[in-house]
Structure 1
Amino acid sequence: MAWRNETTVTEFIFQGFPRIPQLQISLFVSLLVIYLTTLTGNILMIVVIWLDYRLHTPMYLFLINLSFLETCFVSLLVPKMLVDFLSEKKMITFNGCMTQCYFYFLMGTTDFFLLTTMSYDRYVAICHPLHYPTIMSNKLCIQLVIGCWVVTSLLLLPPIILLSRLPFCGPKVINHFFCDSSTLLNLACTNTDFIKLINLIISIIVLVGPLLLIVVSYVYIISTILRIPSAHGRNKAFSTCASHLSMVTISFGSAIFIEIRPTGKKSSDIDKAVLMVSSILAPLLNPFIYTLRNEKVKEALRDALNRSVRRCKKGREIKV
C-alpha cells in the first residue's frame, strides 16, 4: 500500500520504553520466546481444526479465523520490537509507519467484530439449540467472517488516508513502540481536530456497538442457562462461554482503558505498558484458553499427535 506523503519527514523514530542495559538481553529473549510460543500455539490450533473433520462447524470456523488474526496481529508488532531491542535508532519509514498503523487498527477492530459474531454463535447454540444447524450454516459463518474484514477495511481507510496527507515538520520521534494514530496526530504541524473527531466516532462505533451486542447476547445466554434444570447441564453451558468471555475481557478491557484514561506523560507510559501487554497477551493466551477448556479440541490434538507418532514409528520400521 503506497501512501501520499505531503511532509518533510521521511521516517520516524520510536521512543519506545526506557532503555535498561542490564535487562536488554533478558527482555529480548523473553519477547522472542513469547512470540515463538504464540506462533506455534495459534498455527497448531489452525492445523488441528483444519485437519479434523469433526471440528468443521461454525464455532471452530470462527476459532480458525481468530487464531489467524492473532498470528497476524502479533507478527505485525513483535518482529519490529525485537529488531528495535538490538538497534540504537528505532527507525521506521513514513510509508512503513502508515502501513503499520492501518493494519494494527484493522486487525484490532476485526478482532472486536469477530468476537461479537462468536457471541451470536454462542447465543444461538444455547438459546436456540434445535435451530442451530439451520441458523448457523457454514455459508452464513463465511459471510460473517468476510463481512468483519470488509467492513473494518472500509471503516478505517478514510482516517488513515487523511493521516497520511498531514504535514509532519518534526520532531519525528514517536513516543510509542509502534505507529499509534493518536501519537502521530500530535506530531502533525497543522490542526488535526477533524481527524480526531473521526477517530472518536469510529472508536465509539467499534467499541460500544460490539460490546452492547455481546452484553445483550450474554443476558439472554445467562437467563437461558439458569433455567437449565441439571447442574451438569448448567456447568457445561457456562464452560462453552468461559473461553470466549476471557478473550472479550482481555481485548475490550485494554481498549476501553486506553480510551477513558486521562492524558499526560504519566498516562502515556501506562498506555504503552497496557497496549504492549494486551497486544502480546491475547494472542499468546488464545490457543491455551480454547484448548484447555474445550474437550473436542483436546481430543483432536491428541489424535493428531498419535497419528504423528504412528507415522514416525512406521518410518523407522521401514528404514530398519
Structure 2
Amino acid sequence: MRVVTQRSFGAPEVLHVTEAPKPEPLPTEVLVRVHASGVNPVDAYVRAGAFPLLGEPPFVLGWDVSGVVEAVVPGVSRFAVGDEVYGMPFFPRAAGGYGEYVAAPSLQFARKPKGLDHVQAAALPLAGLTAWQGLVDAAKLTEGQRVLIHAGGGGVGHLAVQIAKARGAEVHTTASAAKRDFVRELGADHVLDYRTTDFAEELRDLDVVLDTIGNGYGERSLRTLRPGGVLVTIVQRADAELAARTAAEGRRFAGVTVEPDHVGLEALTELVESGRLQPYVEHVLPLEQAAKAHALIESGRTQGKIVLTV
C-alpha cells in the first residue's frame, strides 16, 4: 500500500510517499480502507521533532481517518465489511493514518455521519473529540453558561464553537478580523479581534475558558473566569505552575489530552446528523502533497481543517 513516511525529523520536505505492507488486523480489530486523512498541528510537531510521540523516524504520521471497513476479525460485532466508519485510532501511539489502510480496534471507530463525505468526516475526529472532551467531559458545560473559546476559527476552535452552542452556552471567541464572519456563522455570540482587543480586559465572570493557543493565554484567561470557573487547556495540560495558580485563584484547572473514544465520536455524529455541527475543510490535497499540507498548517492561517485524499 502507499503511505507517507519520513526518515528524519525536519521541514515538510522530509515527507515522501513510499510503499509499505498492508496491515493485518488483530483480534478486536477491523481493517479500514482509508479514503481521507485529516491533518492536525500535532502531526507537524511530531514530524519536526518538537513533540517526539513516535520516537525516532522512520514512521508514518496521521490519526484522523475516514473510510470503509474491508475486513473484520471474527468476534468483532460492531461493524461489517462495507460499513463506512471514521475515527482517531491509537492516539498518541502510531496509527499510520497517512496511508491506504489502517487496522485498529473496532471500539476506536464510529459509523461515518450521514450527510458527510469522507473528506468532511476525516476532519472531525481529533479536533472534534478534543473540543468535546474539553467542553463536555472536563468542563461539564451546560445550558446558559458563558464560555470563551480561543482561536474560534481554527481546527479545534470552529468545532468547539458549534458544540458549545449546541449545549446552549453563550459563546465568546477570539479570532482575527478575517475570520470574524466565519466564526459568527458558526454561532459565536461575541467575536473579539485578538489583534485589536484585549480579551482579558473585556470579559469577566465566564464559566469556562477553552485555551487552544498557550503562550500566556491560559494565565491571562484566569482574569475572565468567575470564582469556581474552569480553565480548560489543550496546550498547557502538564503545566503544574498554571494548575497551582488556577487553584490558588479559586478556579478549576483541566488539562486535556485527546483520547480515542467511540462514545464521543457517536455524540459528534448525533450533532452532525441533527444539523448542529459541520466541519469546515479549507484545503483538500492528495496524499502525495502531504508536505504542502504541513506547510499550510504551519502557516497558522488555516480556517477550519486540512484533509488529504487517499
Which is bigger in relative contact order (C-alpha 8 A, separation at least 6)? 1
TM range (shorter): under 0.3
Q: Which structure shows the higher strand fraction?
A: 2
Which protein is richer in helix relative to its size? 1
Larger gyration radius, structure 1 or structure 2: 1
